[in-house]
Amino acid sequence: MTRIDFHVLPDGSQRQHDIYICQLVERAWREGRHVHLHCETETLQQALDELLWTFYDASFLPHAPADSPEAAQVRVTLGHGQQAPQSAELLVNLQREVPPFFSQFEQVVETTGPDEAARAQARNRYRFYKDRGYPLETIKV
């Protein structure tokens, strides 16, 4: 059964949130895991695509859009909308809703987001998983 981790972040900016996501993805990548970042919009996907290369001076995190030919050669992919990756172990959900394909992953990471509106949406996702009996862990950052 898919394990769900909710990362509770302190108040902050969208950029701080996105850098935290990049750090989380980098840790998983260094562990050899296949990660998919599922974004709310194409704009967010493009912003994270850029940030994954630049979030700190020495960063080099090979990644590709999930629908590109390069996706099969990297362990980190990005997508948005209803597109599901071909394969990954870890889903980092950055959508307001739970993606319909979340259960194909070993683990899903959710965050509370950078503001109160995002936190309200995160509470809805938490209830969704809880009501369906998924194992939940809360991680206070």
Mean pLDDT of 82-86: 81
The residue to which tokens 């950052």 are assigned:
141
Mean pLDDT of 44-66: 91
Could you tell me the domains of the chain? 3-140 (3.40.50.10110)
The strand pairing partners of 94, in sequence order, are 39
CA distances from 58 to 10, 23, 54, 55, 123 (A): 26, 12, 8, 9, 35
In this predicted model, what pLDDT tens digit does every residue of 57-78 receive, in sequence order?
877 799 999 999 999 999 999 9
Tokens of 66: 């999930």
At 119, the pLDDT band (50, 70, 90 cuts) reads very high
Higher pLDDT, 129 or 81: 129
In this predicted model, what pLDDT tens digit does every residue of 9-38 receive, in sequence order?
988 899 999 999 999 999 999 999 999 999
Q: DSSP readout, 49-93? A: HHHHHHSSTT-----EETTSGGGGG-SEEEEETTPPPS--SEEEE
